[in-house]
A and B are shown apart, each in its own frame.
Chain A
């Protein structure tokens, strides 16, 4: 009884934080299943390694974006040019 209580106190209620891959092969399998596209053997691992690396990198940047940022190509550039003209 004593040892069980001791074990409970050292075991955290949630798993410790660890690196989560941007894309795991089971997740990829699920997305292919949803799209109705045949996933060939070994492909999930390759996609996880290549696209996953790009996604992991980009998500770091995406988290820093302002809440109000809207999609678009040149709006920031054009507004800068407009400011310059006003000045």
Chain B
């Protein structure tokens, strides 16, 4: 990374403030000719030069290719050609989305120089709408870590306080978007890997319903739990990316044919009066620290003022849901990695190797039972919502902990530390429901926290509706990390 960073610093930086625009706002500015794609890209590159040494978000930067693509977009606009809904906007993605002919490390040593032979459907859809790709972003090794530690490529660090974790596994995606290095990024969420870094870094993170977004040519971790989704600074930006990403895909038989909602319209509607939001105090509030609890109560109050009816709900046994989820992810991840665990175990980092090994001790009987119980657990959760439009819950018990205190590697207490970080997000993957992190505010000075909106299957539009209305009265994106 050092050479490209120096090269970028030597470039004449464009007006840096345009890197602070929202994604949708930037796309509109390019389409209307108010700003060029080249200027946007140069502004992002200037931010990358300044922030990369501090947060280690990028594993690989493709500055020249992105600038070339940006100039092509600008020429196309002058010709009057259609640019697409993301025309000329620089993005970058977690290094687990395959692009034909390009190296995709998956954050691992095992795949350090592995070249993909096909391109992920998610990337194809963003490409088709004219998005630029600035490079590959850091991530937990094989997306199997919730802290942002990576022993092969260096840990990602939180732009709000670089002593603290970004969360993971979409660590580089969160760091890059929060530091305004790019306008948005793809993450993936198997147990909280989009929502949890979004919470720690003050971002909007959407984990869609399982099957809502195609996973074709994206690195798998756990087939039954993996989801693809965006991290952005604003709700409208997330909605725009989801409209583009969602939908059936012949390359992924698990991608749903359910119609895609009008997410952008929902995010901008502001129509939340009369909606019912359920609050599950049991389990979700059990370990919440005081500053976080106060911030979430303030958020609930703000939503109430908008006319949202807040009701209490008693969720089903979430400890049981978490246990079932652990059985499922352990078995599926171990099955994927068994061959490398046999032949190249020393190439794994200690934390990931230890977690993957767990799954070798799960019997077929237990795994199948975890699949059999799933619909029953989901039905019980939806029944507990008792007609509410969505659920409001914390994402994590506290703001970002330090890199040092969560550096557990393969130590015996690693399991407990990891379980504690994901205890509020992991069960929702098992239930298959859509869930979204919305920035709530800041605690302890400048540490962001978010709340989680959990919806009914394929009702992402409802989550965007509530999140958009909240953001309008609490625009946390206006506060920048320094």
B378 touches A77 (CB 8 A): yes
Q: Does B245 contact A (CB under 8 A)?
A: no
Would you give the shortest CB distance from B435 to chain A, in whole angstroms? 15
Known: A35-B342, A43-B357. A55 touches B362 (CB 8 A): yes
In angstroms, Cα B415 to Cα A56, docked, is 16
B360 touches A37 (CB 8 A): yes
Residues of B within 8 A of A36 (CB): 342
A47 touches B357 (CB 8 A): yes
A74 touches B361 (CB 8 A): no
Would you give the shortest CB distance from A58 to chain B, in whole angstroms? 4
Q: Does A71 contact B (CB under 8 A)?
A: yes
In angstroms, Cα B373 to Cα A61, docked, is 8
B379 touches A46 (CB 8 A): no
Q: Is the interface of A mostly helix, strand, loop or mixed?
A: helix
Would you give the shortest CB distance from B322 to chain A, in whole angstroms? 8
Cross-interface CB contact of A37 among B317, B342, B371, B382, cutoff 8 Å: B342
A58 touches B323 (CB 8 A): yes
B354 touches A61 (CB 8 A): no
The stretch of B198-206, B324-332, B460-468, B473-481 that contacts the partner chain: B324-332
In angstroms, Cα B324 to Cα A61, docked, is 9
Residues of A within 8 A of B210 (CB): 73
In angstroms, Cα B362 to Cα A43, docked, is 15
A77 touches B327 (CB 8 A): no
How many residues on chain A are close to B (CB under 8 Å)?
34
Interface bits A15-57 vs B (CB < 8 Å: 1, else 0)? 0000000010001100110011110001100110011011101
In angstroms, Cα B22 to Cα A74, docked, is 35
Known: A37-B342, A51-B326. A71 touches B371 (CB 8 A): yes
Q: Does A59 contact B (CB under 8 A)?
A: yes
The chain B residue sitting closest to A30, CB to CB, is: B361
Q: Does A72 contact B (CB under 8 A)?
A: yes
How many residues on chain B are close to A (CB under 8 Å)?
41
B366 touches A77 (CB 8 A): no
B345 touches A37 (CB 8 A): yes
Interface residues of B in 311-350 (CB under 8 A from A): 317, 319-320, 322-324, 326-327, 330, 338, 341-342, 345
Q: Does A65 contact B (CB under 8 A)?
A: yes
The chain B residue sitting closest to A48, CB to CB, is: B361
B374 touches A71 (CB 8 A): yes
Interface residues of B in 344-390 (CB under 8 A from A): 345, 354, 357-358, 360-362, 366, 368-376, 378-379, 382
The chain B residue sitting closest to A25, CB to CB, is: B361
Known: A37-B345, A58-B369. A73 touches B362 (CB 8 A): no
A72 touches B412 (CB 8 A): no
Interface residues of B in 159-179 (CB under 8 A from A): none
Residues of A within 8 A of B208 (CB): none
The chain B residue sitting closest to A50, CB to CB, is: B415
Known: A32-B360, A38-B345, A54-B323. A69 touches B372 (CB 8 A): yes
Q: Does B432 contact A (CB under 8 A)?
A: yes
Would you give the shortest CB distance from B222 to chain A, in whole angstroms? 13
Known: A31-B361, A51-B362, A71-B372. A57 touches B323 (CB 8 A): yes
B360 touches A62 (CB 8 A): no
Q: Does B135 contact A (CB under 8 A)?
A: no
The chain B residue sitting closest to A23, CB to CB, is: B361
Would you give the shortest CB distance from B373 to chain A, in whole angstroms? 6
Known: A57-B320, A77-B379. A37 touches B338 (CB 8 A): yes
The chain A residue sitting closest to B371, CB to CB, is: A71
**Residues in chain B within 8 A of chain A (CB atoms):** 210-211, 224, 317, 319-320, 322-324, 326-327, 330, 338, 341-342, 345, 354, 357-358, 360-362, 366, 368-376, 378-379, 382, 412, 415-416, 419, 432, 457
**Residues in chain A within 8 A of chain B (CB atoms):** 23, 27-28, 31-32, 35-38, 42-43, 46-47, 50-51, 53-55, 57-59, 61-62, 65, 69-77, 80
Rank and list the top 10 A-B pairs by shortest CB-CB distance, nearest first. A71-B371, A62-B369, A50-B415, A76-B375, A54-B323, A76-B379, A58-B323, A54-B326, A57-B323, A73-B432
